[in-house]
Structure 1
Amino acid sequence: MDLRLKDKTAFVSGSTQGIGFAVARALLGEGAAVVINGRSEAGVQDALRRLRAELPDADVSGRGADFSDAAQVRDLLASLGDLDILVNNVGLFGLDRFEEVSDDEWQRYFDVNVMSGVRLSRQVLSGMLDRKWGRILFISSESGVNVPADMVHYGVTKAAMIALGNGLSKLTRGTEVTVNTILGGPTYSDGVAGTVAGIAQARNVPADEMKAAIISANQTTLLQRFIEPSEIAQLVLYLASPLSAATNGAAVRADGGVLTTMI
């Protein structure tokens, strides 16, 4: 199927590894020009090398910026030209007891998980509206709907992303601009793999055994395994394409059936 992305330019935040990297690779595979992003310039250059080795004809470039640093964000925004597709993927993730999360940590989560999307969307939305075409996507989580007790700060920021996407969509009336959110389920990204490995080491069990135990403990998953980053990326491709014009203001599930609600 031709997703008609060959003449599109995309920016994917937090795309040097995990879901973001898979999204960038998938967009490049469809012929889009992609700007990737990571916290460090070294990480960006490493990701660029990997993408160019896999896709030698790809039009890919990169910008380093840490979204918890206001000055770096301002520099990044100033460097962005017109975009057809914005994928707000960058995010922090962690298991923490609610009473142990400081105000500063709450603020850091909001700056990275929520304000990154606010600032990037504000930068590019007006141009999309003027051209009457564009796609803004937020990579949220089922944790934004069913907030976990051991990740309250994470879940709250993911809920805010859903609300932000829905609100922005109401600004797009009468255009071919859409704003949608993907509710990802338990995905075996690099960050999650690192967390699983850390828990496994602390409990002195093999990482694969810990990985299986985590899925077994999730009593609502229908997939019965971790989602692969590439599986999230496939939904991004559709929602980023002209084929998805009728989907706007939606929170689309790619959660492996973890959420038990019908809608």
Structure 2
Amino acid sequence: MLIDLSGRTALVTGSTQGIGLAIATGLARAGARVAVNGRDEARTEEAAGRLGAEVPGAQVVPVPGDLADERGAARVVDLLPDVDILINNLGIFESKPALEISDEEWRRYFEVNVLAAVRLTRAYLPGMRDRGWGRIQYIASDSAVVTPAEMIHYGMSKTALLAVSRGFAKEAAGSGVTVNSVIAGPTHTGGVEDFVYQLVDKDLPWEQAQRVFMREHRPQSLLQRLIEPEEIANMVVYLSSPPASATTGGAVRVDGGYVDSILP
């Protein structure tokens, strides 16, 4: 399938590394003008430069700003007043015993993982509706459906994204704008490597540590390996495309068969 996003502007939040950077790269390869976002200005500009070098001819712009803060989000919108494709990828996670999660941490996870996406949707959805075309996606997680005992605050935030996505899809009904969430399974990123080593022997080589982690903590996976970020990006690029025009209000799985149900 040929996907051509020429003439479209995409904003990918939290895209200086990991899944976000892979998504930004995929969208750039499809011809979109891509805005790279991160909290740190220098890191954001460096990531945008690397992406531009990796995809010759790509239009890449850095839009730094802390989206968990109202002023930071407003700064991003000022730098990029209109987008055609909004990918709400920003998210934080960590392993912590349930009874040790403080009120402040609960609030932080909601602010970063949920409210940041809501703010940008409020900012950009009206313009998409006026133009009669747009794509909004929320990068959720298998943890939205299978709440992990070791990080229920993260699971809560990803479950909330499924509700947010479905609700905004109803708000966009009949407008030519589609709104979906993507349920990503256990994915290989630098942050996940750190997380894996919180749960398995730190002296194990990475390949062995990964196998132990999947066997002991994610045995439901049908892939029996971590997903690569580019595999998540492939689905996001498709959902951003004109051929995906009839897919909206959905929770689309790229989870390696981790969630043991037919619907998601």
Q: TM-score range by the shorter chain?
A: over 0.9
Superposed CA deviations along residues 65-101 of structure 1, whole A, max 9, x for unmatched, are 1233332222222222211100000000111111111
Q: Does 1:9 align with 2:6?
A: no
Q: Percent same amino acid among aligned pairs?
A: 45
Deviation at 1:164, TM superposition (A): 0.2
Partner of 2:36: 36
1 CA distance for matches of 2:229 and 2:150? 23
Q: Secondary structure of 1:83's match?
A: coil
Superposed CA deviations along residues 160-188 of structure 1, whole A, max 9, x for unmatched, are 00100000000122221100000000001
> Which amino acid counterpart does residue 253 of structure 1 have in structure 2?
R
1 CA distance for matches of 2:257 and 2:199? 25
Does the 8 Å CA contact 1:16/1:47 hold for their aligned counterparts?
yes
> Which amino acid counterpart does residue 47 of structure 2 have in structure 1?
A
The size of the alignment, in residue pairs, is 262
TM-score w.r.t. the length of structure 1 is 0.96
Deviation at 1:122, TM superposition (A): 0.3
1 CA distance for matches of 2:83 and 2:195? 34
Q: Write out the 4+ residue segments of structure 1 that deviate beyond 3 Å after TM superposition.
A: 197-200
Partner of 1:104: 104
Does the 8 Å CA contact 2:36/2:44 hold for their aligned counterparts?
yes
Deviation at 1:56, TM superposition (A): 2.8
Superposed CA deviations along residues 33-88 of structure 1, whole A, max 9, x for unmatched, are 00010120121122122112211311000111123333222222222221110000
Partner of 2:260: 260
Partner of 2:153: 153
> Which amino acid counterpart does residue 13 of structure 1 have in structure 2?
T
Gapped regions of structure 1 (runs ≥ 5): none
Partner of 1:182: 182
2 CA distance for matches of 1:91 and 1:194? 15
Partner of 1:239: 239
Gapped regions of structure 2 (runs ≥ 5): none
Does the 8 Å CA contact 1:196/1:207 hold for their aligned counterparts?
no
2 CA distance for matches of 1:144 and 1:189? 19
Give the aligned CA root-mean-square deviation in angstroms: 1.3
TM-score w.r.t. the length of structure 2 is 0.95
2 CA distance for matches of 1:120 and 1:177? 15
Partner of 1:212: 211
1 CA distance for matches of 2:115 and 2:173? 24
